[in-house]
Amino acid sequence: MSEIILTIQDVNPLDLLGEKDSKLKLLKEAYPEITITSRGNNIKITGEKKFTQQAKTSFERMVKTLKDEKELSNEKVKSILKGNYVIDLEEVNGISEKAIVHGRNGKAIKARTRNQKKMVEQSEANDILFAIGPAGTGKTYTAVALAVRALKNRLVKKIILTRPAVEAGENLGFLPGDLKDKIDPYLRPLYDALDDMLPGDKLEHFMSNRTIEIAPLAFMRGRTLNNAFIILDEAQNATGTQLKMFLTRLGPTAKCIITGDLSQIDLPRNQKSGLYLALDIVSGIEGVSHVKLTAEDVVRHRLVKAIIKRYDEYAEVQRLEREARAFDKNKTKKDDV
C-alpha cells in the first residue's frame, strides 16, 4: 500500500481541479484502482504503488500544462490521461520534450500530441514528409514551426510556403482587388502561423527580401527550389499534375512537408485529388515519410474532435452503403445471366 500527498502550489486550485472538481473526477475515473481525495490545497493518493505513481505523474502533467499554457480544459485533461498529450516533463520524470522553436515573446512552440511529435521526428529524418489528417490537428502550424527553426539555425536560406488557390464554395474571380488581394485569403493560415513565431518587423523584413515567400502552387511551375524549406499546404486540393510538378521542383538541398486533409477536398466532382495518387506512388521511397494525424490530435475547441469523429462515422456508413449497392447490382447482373 502506498500513500502520496501532493500540494497544489503556484496555480489556482479551481483552474486545476475544475468547477465542482470536474477535472479531479476525470483523474479519479482514470485510476479506479486507487483512492484520490482532496482537502484544501492537498491531494492524497492511496493504493497500490504502481497506480499511485501513475496518478501522481498524470497530476503533475496537469499542473505543468496549466503553468505553461495558463489554461487546462477538460478535453486537455482527457488527452493527458490517455497519453496523447505531449508536454515537457523534465522536472517530473527526466523526459524532456524540447521546443521546436521559440516564437514571439519567447513563447515555446512544441509538439503537443504524439503524432505532432512524430511529424518533428520524421521531418528531421527525411527530406519529404506527408502529414495527413483532419482540421485542427496542428499539421500546418507544426510544419511552419519546423521551417522557421531551420531558417533560424541557418540550415536553409529561405522558406517557401504554398497552397493551391482553390475556391471552397466561392468564386475567386468575384473577390475584390488585384491578384494579390484575391489570393491572400487562401494563404492567410500561413501568414497567421508565421505571425505567431516571428516578430512583426523581422517577418516584414523576411517577406520583403523574399527570405520567406508565400505564393499559390501555380507559381512554382518552372522553378528549382534549392536550399529551402518548402511547405505545400492543403495538398488535397492539388491535382495529380500539380503535385508531380511540385515534387519535381525540389533541389538537392531542399526539405519539404506536404500537408493535407483528404476529407475536405474542394476540387470539382469530376477531378480526383492528386494527393491520393502521390501517396500511392512515392510510398516506400527512401527519404520520403508519411505521418497520419487523427481526431485525437485535435488541438482546437473540444467540439472539433467530436465533430470530426461524427463526420468520419458518417463517411464510413456512406462507404458501406455504396459497397452494398454495388454488391446488389453485381448480384442482380449474375442472376440475370
Q: What's the CATH number where 162 sits? A: 3.40.50.300
Name the residue range of residue 60's domain: 2-82
Judge if 127 and 254 occupy the same domain: yes
* Any domain includes 58: yes
Percent helix, strand, coil in the chain (nearest 5)?
50, 20, 30
d(Cα 266, Cα 273) in Å, to the nearest integer? 9
In a domain, 319, yes or no: no
Position 218 pLDDT exceeds 90: no
- Characterize the bridge pairing of strands 158-163 and 228-232: parallel
In a domain, 315, yes or no: no
58 and 129 belong to one structural domain:
no
Would you say 234 and 134 are in contact if contact means Cβ atoms under 8 Å apart?
Answer: no
* pLDDT at residue number 43: 92
**Tens digit of each residue's pLDDT (9 = 90 or more) over 125-175:** 999 999 999 888 889 999 999 999 999 999 999 999 998 876 544 444 555
Q: What is the pLDDT of residue 183?
A: 64
Q: Can you name the residues that pair with 215 across neighbouring β-strands?
A: 162
Instruction: Specify the pairing of strand 42-47 against strand 2-7.
Output: antiparallel
Indicate whether 129 and 27 sit together in one domain.
no
- One-letter amino acid at 73 equals S
Across the chain, mean pLDDT equals: 83
Q: Is the pLDDT of residue 337 over 70?
A: no
Q: What is the pLDDT of residue 96?
A: 38
Question: Residue 129: inside a domain, yes or no?
Answer: yes
State residue 166's pLDDT score. 63
Residue 336 lies in a domain: no
Highest mean pLDDT among 64-78, 98-112, 150-164: 150-164
Same domain (yes/no): 250, 158: yes
Q: Which helix (H) or strand (E) holds 186?
A: helix 179-197
Asked whether the beta carbons of 100 and 146 are under 8 A apart, the reply is yes
pLDDT-wise least confident of 3-7, 58-62, 91-95, 214-218: 91-95
Long-range pairs, 8-12, Cβ under 8 A, ≥24: 8/41, 8/42, 8/43, 8/63, 9/41, 10/67, 11/63, 11/66, 11/67
Check: CB of residue 259 under 8 Å from CB of residue 139. Answer: yes
Tell me the three state secondary structure of residue 144: helix
Calpha distance 146→124 (Å, rounded): 9
Q: In terms of pTM, does the model score above 0.95?
A: no
Q: Are residues 159 and 48 in the same domain?
A: no
- Mark whether 191 and 277 lie in a shared domain: yes
Q: Same structural domain for residues 50 and 134?
A: no
For residue range 269-324, list pLDDT tens digits in order.
Answer: 788 899 999 999 998 899 999 999 987 787 666 666 677 778 777 777 877 877 77
- Which residue type is seen at 87? I
Which helix (DSSP H) or strand (DSSP E) does residue 196 occupy? helix 179-197
In the chain, how many domains are there? 2
106 belongs to a structural domain: no
Tell me, yes or no, whether 153 and 260 share the same domain: yes
pLDDT of residue 93: 38
